[in-house]
Amino acid sequence: MRIGIDARPLSGQAAGLPRVVSALVRELETTDPDSSYYLYSHREFHLFFENPRWHKRVGSRGLGLPSVVWFWTEGKRAILKDHLDVFWSAVYIPHHALPWDVATVLTVHDLEWRLYPETMSLGTYYAHRLLVWPSVRRANRIVTDSESTARDLQRLLNVPESRIETIHLGVSSEYRPQDHERAAKYVAAKYGVSSHYALAVGTVQPRKNLVTLVQAMKILRDRTGSSFQLLVAGARGWKNTALNETIKRLGLSGDDIRFLGVVPEEDLPVLYSGSWLFVFPSLYEGFGLPLVEAMACGVPVIASNTSSIPEVVGDAALLVPPTQPEAFAEAILRVRNDEDLRRTMIEKGLRRAAGFGWDKAARQLLECMRKVVDGKRSEKSIEPSVSGSDKNGF
């Protein structure tokens, strides 16, 4: 096959989506020795291997066009020239840039813009509102990271179940248990923090719901004098005024919570392994990659009981309502005070994480692309078949 990949995420900051696309590209390179791959981006990006079957198509220097406009112009010309069989995107597909004889696979990670629009930046919200619906209609096959998101697509966008395939994300081999004391000392020395810390990972933004976690820390400090530091690894995002005001109002300081910003990816397994607890109070997730990474590193997990999170962690984590700081505080106390519970959670987490692999995800994605290509070849023309119309609110 001649496979096109939307490589725009690879030119971005090393957050969730770029890490997902990067991991799948690495696995596809080894999983599929026969196809030719073409990667398209409006900006330069690093391709982490050399293989003559892999080709980069990057926007002209100095053009400076927004990514969607670039796809409709220069990107479209490159796509037409490359005579693709299938195009896969892990963001919205610039559908006008793709000839109708090119099969398309779209990964929809979540529907935050429909369920929690107030947690998004205004520009990101309107981009999703304008572009996701046409992308969903254009795609021959829609991939979701979880059954939870698949249900959201059916319920909110009227996408038939027959057009959706769920492919769980994976976890890299670097995420494995390390010596806890050694890892904690490394983190303390490098980042100037306590060696006794709990960890949260993710972009600092309202959907990650760190306000609840901060309130839980205050409850613990007042009730027990509990002295541990919360480390937050992730980019400073948007709309964090309420979080900052809550920290100030509760009298918490850098000794209580420390924002590390974006950390080198090679440090993440060490950060997980050095923590005594991983906390994930998110309001909504399409998957929750840090959950699997934490479990793979042998760290007990406390998380919200919403959206895809129960599907990902199974019975390996303590799950509590995301807006109840008291429940988070109680769960943290349980893990701290019950060594048998802690040991059981670690063992279950390791077993649970072992079921997620990037190699498995890449094979499933490749098979999905093969199916849509076969469908295009057997039916010369396929019209989009999403039920519903603009009455859905677009």
| Strand ranges across the sheet with 229-233 | 257-261, 229-233, 197-201, 277-280, 301-304, 318-320
For β-strands 103-108 and 301-304, DSSP reports them as: unpaired
Residues of the chain with pLDDT under 50: 381-382, 385-394
| Residue 317 sits in the same domain as residue 377 | no
| Residue 326 sits in the same domain as residue 189 | yes
- CATH code at 110? 3.40.50.2000
**Over the stretch 125-138, which tens digit does the pLDDT of each residue have?**
998 998 898 899 98
pLDDT score at 13? 64
Q: Which residues pair with 301 in a beta bridge?
A: 278
pLDDT score at 100? 85
pLDDT score at 63? 58
What is the rounded average pLDDT for all residues in the chain? 91
User: How many domains are contained in the chain?
Assistant: 2
Give the C-alpha distances (Å, rounded to integers) separating 111 from 5, 60, 165, 212, 283.
22, 33, 16, 22, 12
The pTM of the full predicted model, rounded to 2 decimals, is: 0.91
Which range of residues forms the domain containing residue 259? 180-353
| Residue 185 sits in the same domain as residue 157 | no
| Residue 316 sits in the same domain as residue 205 | yes
| Residue 88 sits in the same domain as residue 236 | no
175 is a domain residue: no
pLDDT score at 14? 62
